[in-house]
Chain A
Amino acid sequence: MAATARPATSPRDTAGSRAASTLAANRSGLAIGAAVVVLALVAYQWDGVQTTAITARTVREAAPLILAALCGLVGERSGVINIGIEGQMLLGAYSGFMAASYSGSLLVGVVAAVGVAALAGLFLAWAAVALRMDQIIAGTVINIVGAGATSFFYVAGRTMPRFPQWSIPGLEDLPLVGRTLFNHGPLTYTAAVMVLVIHVALFHTRWGLRTRAVGEHPGAADTVGVRIERLRYVNLTLAGGLSGLAGIALLQSAGAFDRGMTAGRGFIALAVMIFGRWRPTGVLGAALLFGLFNAVQAQLQFKQALDVPPQFFGMIPFILTIAVLAVAGVKARPPAAAGRPYDPE
């Protein structure tokens, strides 16, 4: 049997091969990304204004999806399916809006959104861990209460402070890239930063190693003394905060709270997470792809470039989500313990 163990290689070699395998794992993502970039450049030559409008909108549309999908990702990596993201986003957006509206401060709004959505995450953890409730039903409860409560307490006609537009001096004037990447509201940058933060946290910290272990094989983590339940409480609460940020990102685009303003994005985010294979970088790519389709759809509709009823454009993101799941979902390998309460026996 000794023959099966490879001779020890130097650390440098393993690091190199690891980088190579990371590249290989993301090959299809990189290919799609490269194709999109090439396409954008070609389109830019053809119609610069339109193309820039679409690429900028792609990034803007992707931001809430990224944050919401990261919320789902952290939950599932810890072994809990979160189908209540839609409700969490609504709760976050509503509380953020009302807090900002009454206080006149965006920061207070963000804190309120993150806090309330985090509480919803804590509730999911409690239901899943302590009550051992079916996680899908627990998430559905969040969706029903989220939609119901935000409609119940809805007050028409209020306004909140506008979100600033942060442009990066020097970079914003670059053709195509400038408007696309360096001229956005704060939440769009936050989404990008969060991808990096979650990536590093998940793959390069003690917390991340334990989280991944708990999502795959809680028993193994338990037998080395990792406290599974506490980790799930903490992670779902933090993830709830991310969905609160996603709600704020919706406010950033819309300017005010509206009933049901999530319009299914909480569920689309789950498709983004699955398409992104439960990796933050994958989530980034998948969200940009969904954002791109949305942006193209919106631009075509806005320009009335095609004589197609608007309802058909409206269906696109949802049909796309189903198609993505039906095609990509087959190969998907979710964290093995996602959805199951941990039973120490």
Chain B
Amino acid sequence: MRAVWRQWVLLPVAAVVVGLIAGALLILVSGDNPLTAYGGMAEGAFGGSDAIGRTLEKATPLIMGGLAVAFAFKAGLFNIGGQGQLLVGAAFAAWAGFGLDLPTVLHIPLALIVGGVAGSVFGAVAGLLKATRGTHEVITTIMLNFVAANLTDWLVSRDGPWKDPDSGAVARSPHVADSAALPRWGFLPVGFLVAVAVAVAVWWVVNRSVLGFEISTVGQNAKAATYAGISVVRITVVAMAISAFLAGLGGAIQTQGVNGRFEPGFNSGLGFDGITIALLARTNALAVIPAALLIGAMDAGSTLMQSRTDVPPEIISVIQGFILFLVAAPSVVRWMLRLRQDLGAGTNVDLAAGWGAS
């Protein structure tokens, strides 16, 4: 029980605290008061229902991005391409949103699914290359991020097919139809509820389903999976497709629930956030929700922080880098907290097993 408490609460919290302290030092170095900065951040994230709504809104794509990375981890895959898959999902959901005329009960889910499937197809390429050619997914998914950025840029650019005809020189898609827009209930964005429901579903698939067992088996020991009759090729492609579906769905929620349309480059950095969140959550789908809320709160609060102290929002990525490092190297936190070695290993991930087909 104590071990569980330490693994799931103490270590991640310690990592976050140390990350915040490191960020505070940077803020000091750059000549601002960290307390004012963090105070502004906290107020911007939690000060009132508007702020909370904004935090939930920011957390929504982060939950999806975190789920995408966490799910791929289960199969031993490192999906760094969440950002690209999310972009593609967002663009295609916009198309389904403005291009179709359907009743709300159909339009909302259909556009969400179109976005998810588009992201999924995009990400499955990396899975397919990994499974059949041995191409390392870290490189392919990063390269596909750049491809996705260019592709979606073009879709809504001057020459692109999905350009908003009324936007003049601005590259963006038309607004989605009201029947496709995810509403807000008070300060509560419905998209957030969708993301939470998806997290529960993912947890359930991973822990209770036959597919989840197959995916974990491949991730834990591909040789033993083959021995057990599981097709490693099939599982690699399926896992990558599902992971990318989650990211694409995140993009769709963003389009339908927040932006209302597709605008290029709205999400820079979201893919990397997903890595931090997934590891902070120790790749558990349910734990992704609080982890994403934490990062989402930092995001939501960064505007007020900047207006009060001139601290640019990029500080968040630096803090995130520290957090990621600390959760991936628990021995450091252990040492800082003077804990004993009985904590067990950190998040068990082994990704760096070489390139190529060997």
Contacts and interface: CB of A to CB of B under 8 A. Distances in A.
Interface of A: 81, 83, 127, 131, 133-138, 140-141, 143-145, 147-149, 151-154, 263-264, 267-268, 270-271, 274, 309, 311-312, 314-315, 318-319, 321-322, 325-327, 329-330, 332-334, 336, 338-340
Contacts of B80: 140
B49 to A, nearest CB: 30
A131 B318 contact: no
A29 to B, nearest CB: 18
Given A141-B321, A144-B276, A321-B139, 10 more contacts: A134-B349, A137-B275, A143-B272, A264-B146, A318-B146, A322-B144, A327-B133, A332-B357, A334-B358, A340-B353
Contacts of B358: 332-334
A299 to B, nearest CB: 18
Sort A-B residue pairs by CB-CB distance and give the 9 closest, nearest first: A148-B317, A145-B321, A339-B352, A311-B154, A135-B352, A144-B321, A151-B314, A152-B314, A148-B318
A332 B135 CA distance: 10
Contacts of B351: 134, 136-137
B354 A334 contact: yes
A338 B331 CA distance: 22
Interface string B267-311: 001001001100100000000000000000000000000000000
A145 B355 CA distance: 24
A325 B135 contact: yes
B106 interface: no
A6 B353 CA distance: 37
A137 B78 CA distance: 9
21 contacts: A81-B354, A83-B138, A127-B329, A131-B329, A134-B350, A136-B78, A140-B324, A144-B276, A144-B318, A149-B321, A153-B30, A264-B146, A267-B143, A311-B154, A312-B154, A318-B147, A321-B143, A326-B133, A327-B133, A329-B134, A334-B356
A338 B354 contact: yes
Contacts of A336: 354
A311 B151 contact: yes
Nearest to B322: A145
A24 B147 CA distance: 36
Interface of B: 26, 30, 78, 80, 129, 133-136, 138-140, 142-144, 146-147, 150-151, 153-154, 157, 159-160, 269, 272, 275-276, 279, 312, 314-318, 320-322, 324-325, 328-329, 331-332, 349-358
Contact of A332 (B30, B154, B316, B355): B355
B352 A152 contact: no
A136 B133 contact: no
Contact of A144 (B157, B320, B332): B320
Given A151-B314, A333-B356, A311 B139 contact: no
A61 B110 CA distance: 45
A210 B29 CA distance: 42
A127 B346 CA distance: 14
A332 B136 CA distance: 12
Given A309-B159, A325-B139, A152 B318 contact: yes
Contact of B133 (A267, A315, A330): A330
Contacts of A334: 354-356, 358
Contacts of A154: 312, 314
A333 to B, nearest CB: 6
B24 to A, nearest CB: 13
Interface centre among B142, B160, B352, B353 (most CB of A within 10 A): B352
A151 to B, nearest CB: 4
B251 to A, nearest CB: 18
B355 A148 contact: no
B134 A330 contact: yes
B26 A326 contact: no
A315 B318 contact: no
A153 B30 CA distance: 8
Contact of A329 (B133, B143, B321, B331): B133
Interface centre among B276, B315, B322, B328 (most CB of A within 10 A): B328
Given A151-B317, A326-B129, A138 B328 contact: yes
Given A140-B80, A333-B356, A148 B320 contact: yes
B266 to A, nearest CB: 16
B355 A329 contact: yes
A8 to B, nearest CB: 34
Contacts of B129: 322, 325-326
A152 B135 CA distance: 34
B356 A330 contact: yes
B219 to A, nearest CB: 14
B153 A311 contact: yes
Contacts of B350: 134
A327 B354 CA distance: 17
Nearest to A263: B146
Contacts of B315: 148, 152
Nearest to A319: B147
Contact of B146 (A83, A151, A315, A325): A315
Contacts of A151: 312, 314, 317
A148 B317 CA distance: 5
A187 to B, nearest CB: 24
B256 to A, nearest CB: 24
Contacts of B272: 140, 143-144, 147
A148 B354 contact: no
